[in-house]
Structure 1
Amino acid sequence: MTIVDASFGELLPTCEKLCWSIANGEKVTAPEYREGGGLVVAHKSARVEYVPVGVMGCIVSWNYPCHSVLGPILSAVMAGNGCVVKAREHHGVDEALIAVVNDWADTGEALNECADKITFIGSPAVGKQVVKKASETLNPVVLEIGGRDTVVADDGCDFTQVVQIAMRGTFQNVVVVLANYLSLNFFENAY
């Protein structure tokens, strides 16, 4: 990971999430009232109250060690939940600073069974296993799974800039980012 990757892809987003959570956490989790919509329920209103779900089980990837661990912790704690993070077996988190469960797949499976909600960051294949296991207990699941995006450039683009952005997106961290480009599509008159 380069210094630029560490700064812009790892540390700054984590700091921004922390700042946003501190500034907005109470506001976005406060109870709110909503008016009825349409003629049939125009006289009705509803109160929406956000309550903690309990223990968040966060199964995270290895490619951004700081953000992958702290991001789910910030979200869980801001919403009033406990949090257990299961990192990859070679994650490299200093246990003197943060207690993270570093272990193989069986730990993630056990976490999936006992947590009240699961956040998973990783491959589509393992994501399917997490969802399947969570469906047995009807626990909610949030997935951030790997995918491949397409770049489309038309005749109004700056070709040089698009190529630079596309190449960085394609090869950043040697394809460890969950949103890399699978194909680059340019209209004929774009280049």
Structure 2
Amino acid sequence: MRMNRRNVLVGLGTIVAGGGAALGTGAFSSVRADRTVTVNTAGDSSAYLGVSVTGNYAVDGGSGDAVEIDLGDSSTGDGFNDDAVTDVTGILTLSNNAADGNQITVGFDDGSGSQTATRTIVVETDSSGDVVAEVDFELASDDGSGNQKTLSDTTSSVDVNATVRTGSETTASSSTADKTSGSLTLIAN
């Protein structure tokens, strides 16, 4: 067989194809690489989900501490009327402080990890377990679904309001009462 350009090219092509089949495609199955991760924390008002005290019924915990809602203590004379429904507006303001400017949705944990725009917490029961005082927390407005509020950008915010029900005005039964007294969890996605 005479050696010409065509035979040389066919021969080289065969060698390259055979070598590729023998050595694989060049893909790999795993890589291990060390990377550093930095997580910064901030106080509630300057975190990605800003939680700011806007009313008289909350206290800013200071640098790094959580905001605390304090609806008063009837034993010190600054409690709510018995057998009454009291609306308290603008306790907190939730704002979108996300560095990337993307929208976030906020709501309360309904006890199962899902978001809801309202949350009832029993704050006091009597010795027989009957509900004496409960607080309905609610977002001032939701996205129309009743489950959350969408904060579209860093200029968006929503207020947290509360309705305090005492005595005969309570609606929760002792069997279905939320026993997480003193705890309100916000969810932001």
TM-score (ref. length: structure 1): 0.25
Q: Which has the higher helix share?
A: 1
Q: Specify which structure has the higher proportion of strand.
A: 2
Name the TM-score, length of structure 2 as normaliser: 0.25
RCO higher in structure (CA 8 A, sep ≥6)? 2
